[in-house]
Structure 1
Amino acid sequence: MKAIIIEQYGGPEQLKEVEVPIPTPEANQVLIEMHATSVNPIDWKVRAGHLKEMLSFEFPIILGWDAAGVVKEVGADVTAFKVGDRVFARPDTTSNGCYAEYIVTEEKYLARIPHNMGFGDAASVPLAGLTAWQCLIDFGQLKSGDKVLIHAGAGGVGTFAIQIAKSVGAHVAATASEKNEALLQSLGVDTFINYKEQDFENVIADYDLVLDSMGGDIQERSYDVLKAGGKLVSIVAPPDEEQAKAHDVTAGFLWLNPNGEQLQELADLMENEQVKPIVGHHFPLTEEGLQEAHQLSESHHAKGKIVINVRP
């Protein structure tokens, strides 16, 4: 099968197209014929070597941790899925990722793709959608009437976070550039903050939760919008514990845990049209396609998700 691999850390030019064997599922796994995957920041951070202390993979590495496709084979212990099912998943973070024509993954990570959704849209959901879910629902315990600030609202995690927050009845503020205001308004944002012209800490106050996807100065300034007893969750850098204590805030760093049951809950929200994926870019599963997709993701100017089409 075709796969896009890296054999050493470096820039996008390290992404190479090769032929590798089709993997064989173990007893608790399924073999998925891939139709689409997507690019997330973790992909190029691994490629560049930024996470080599945390993820000690051996080369060659197949990047990508979003899967959407059709079940082609099931292991002996698999009971909930059968050959022919349309599924999506956020597999385990291993060196055998999803930039490939086939993958294997554990049954527990699978969910059924909503009937009203194609493979490309489905592939954009698992990593970003589950990250948003676990930040807001698991860590943030967000509920109706709460106020949440979502940084980088037009990004992959941001667009899902806005919609998940609205689905539970929260008041949502989000930062983005002026060109993305209409998009965020369409997703239900209550307070739009143009980060190029406004300092968010001068616009809002007494919030229950902040979802930080920027780190640095933005993370530090985010404490100023939280009320006493509020929460800050970051997906880019562990917050300073002393700073959190000084503001009487609970702060934490979230590393996604793949979870098929939560992904199915997201699928149900999408089936009921309460949440929709925002896909801004499509590239083919080729050496050149992945190199361009990585460059776009690293620019931080992608609008919504970047999807890789594995099959036409």
Structure 2
Amino acid sequence: MKAIGYTDAGPIAAENALIEFETDIPQPGTNDLLVEVRGISVNPVDVKVRGKAQPEGEPRILGFDAAGIVKEVGSGTTRFRPGDEVFYAGDITRPGTNASFHVVDERIVGRKPSSLGFAEAAGMPLTAITAWEILFDSLKLKEGEGEGESLLIVGGAGGVGSILIQLAKKLTKLNVIATASRSETREWVKKMGADYIINHRNPLDEEMKTLGISPRYVASLTHTEQHFKAIATLIKPRGHIALIDGPQSLDIVSLKPKALSVSWEFMFARSMFQTEDMDAQHILLNRVADMLDNNTLISTVNRHHGNLSVANLRSSHELQESGTAIGKTVLDGFS
């Protein structure tokens, strides 16, 4: 089968930053599905892995999000059968989805939304799982809760921010404040449903003071180190901060006077450690599919870069690395 990967970690500008190669079709294990990949998307984790994680031996196949058709199932599977259309966000410890076929544990797979094509469906899983786990695992909210409270989302126009805005508005009673700086990103987060928009190019505590709102919850999706002092200032006492990026250091002691809590969200944790509740991602992806099909949620896909190829995947990585990507960028499978 065809696959795209890399042999040497480094910048996307390198001549062979991405290569196409032939490899064997993987064989599904006991709990696995073999999926014919029809659509993929690009996430920040793709470019971080390609830039920093040196492959050992064989080229490393990139890609996490995928949508496709089940071709074979493992002996222990119960949720899917050959011919089913599925979408999922994969497992960081296994080969990726930038290939003709891919093997994935069925416990982290959901049914593909019938209202979306394969590429558009592939734009949703990783960010939807991350956003869902921020709300209900990290911040410990329950559906229908949050009346009178606010959530500040730092980095509202990215893939996670785009779906987090929607899930918070549809499944909780929180007021949602999203940060965005450019006119196009401000319009995007407004489209996603944000109640208020502030500019993250300015000090966030000053921006929030102008609004007259002190949020109990903060989801810091990007540049946490830059904004951490302001977040500690603007958040309510006994508030909760969830983050997904990788700051080099944080002054946790500064959070003590307000008795603040901090949680990391890493959507690969369940699959990486084979947790007992791994199928929580199967369940939530099915909920997301239902919400997309009944128009409770709208797609966060903003760019379609054609079929999977080295050139098209390179341009997608370049866009992601530029820091100007809005929503999600997707591609069809190999032509």
TM-score, normalised with respect to structure 1: 0.93
Q: Which amino acid in 2 is paired with 1:144?
A: G
For residue 105 of structure 1, give the secondary structure of its aligned residue in structure 2. strand
User: d(CA) in 1 for partners of 2:73 and 2:241?
Assistant: 41
Q: Which amino acid in 1 is paired with 2:231?
A: S
Residue equivalent to 1:219: 228
Whether 1:289 aligns to 2:291 is no
User: d(CA) in 1 for partners of 2:319 and 2:265?
Assistant: 24
Whether 1:263 aligns to 2:285 is yes
Does the CA contact (< 8 Å) of 2:27 and 2:34 recur in 1? yes
Q: Which amino acid in 2 is paired with 1:104?
A: V
Q: Which amino acid in 1 is paired with 2:146?
A: S
Residue equivalent to 1:304: 327
> 1:119: Cα distance to partner?
1.0
> 1:95: Cα distance to partner?
4.4
Residue equivalent to 2:265: 254
User: d(CA) in 1 for partners of 2:139 and 2:180?
Assistant: 22
Does the CA contact (< 8 Å) of 2:138 and 2:264 recur in 1? no
Q: Which amino acid in 2 is paired with 1:305?
A: K
> 1:169: Cα distance to partner?
2.1
User: d(CA) in 1 for partners of 2:121 and 2:237?
Assistant: 38
Q: 1:311 to 1:59 in 2, by over 3 A?
A: closer
Q: Which amino acid in 1 is paired with 2:180?
A: A
Does the CA contact (< 8 Å) of 1:237 and 1:253 recur in 2? no
Does the CA contact (< 8 Å) of 1:34 and 1:102 recur in 2? yes
> 1:132: Cα distance to partner?
1.0
Whether 1:194 aligns to 2:199 is yes
CA RMSD of aligned residues (A): 1.8
Q: How many residues align?
A: 307
Residue pairs, 1:31-42, within 5 angstroms: 31-42=34-45
Cα deviation, 1:105-153, whole Å, max 9, x if unaligned, reads 1111111012212111210111111111111121112323231001111
Cα deviation, 1:164-217, whole Å, max 9, x if unaligned, reads 110122100000122222222222111111334x43312324211111112212
Q: Which amino acid in 2 is paired with 1:226?
A: I
User: d(CA) in 1 for partners of 2:57 and 2:264?
Assistant: 26
User: d(CA) in 2 for partners of 1:80 and 1:57?
Assistant: 34
User: d(CA) in 2 for partners of 1:298 and 1:186?
Assistant: 24
Deviates more, 1:60-69 or 1:179-188: 179-188
User: d(CA) in 1 for partners of 2:51 and 2:63?
Assistant: 14
Residue equivalent to 2:9: 9
> 1:252: Cα distance to partner?
2.1
For residue 232 of structure 1, give the secondary structure of its aligned residue in structure 2. strand
> 1:274: Cα distance to partner?
1.8
Cα deviation, 1:64-102, whole Å, max 9, x if unaligned, reads 111100111111211211111110112211241011110
- Percent identical among aligned pairs is 34
User: d(CA) in 2 for partners of 1:113 and 1:220?
Assistant: 41
User: d(CA) in 2 for partners of 1:130 and 1:9?
Assistant: 27
Deviates more, 1:297-306 or 1:237-246: 237-246
Does the CA contact (< 8 Å) of 1:57 and 1:95 recur in 2? no
Residue equivalent to 1:115: 114
Q: Which amino acid in 1 is paired with 2:265?
A: L
Does the CA contact (< 8 Å) of 1:212 and 1:234 recur in 2? yes
Q: 1:97 to 1:218 in 2, by over 3 A?
A: same
> 1:240: Cα distance to partner?
3.5
Whether 1:228 aligns to 2:237 is yes
Residue equivalent to 2:184: 179
> 1:58: Cα distance to partner?
5.5
Q: 1:193 to 1:58 in 2, by over 3 A?
A: farther
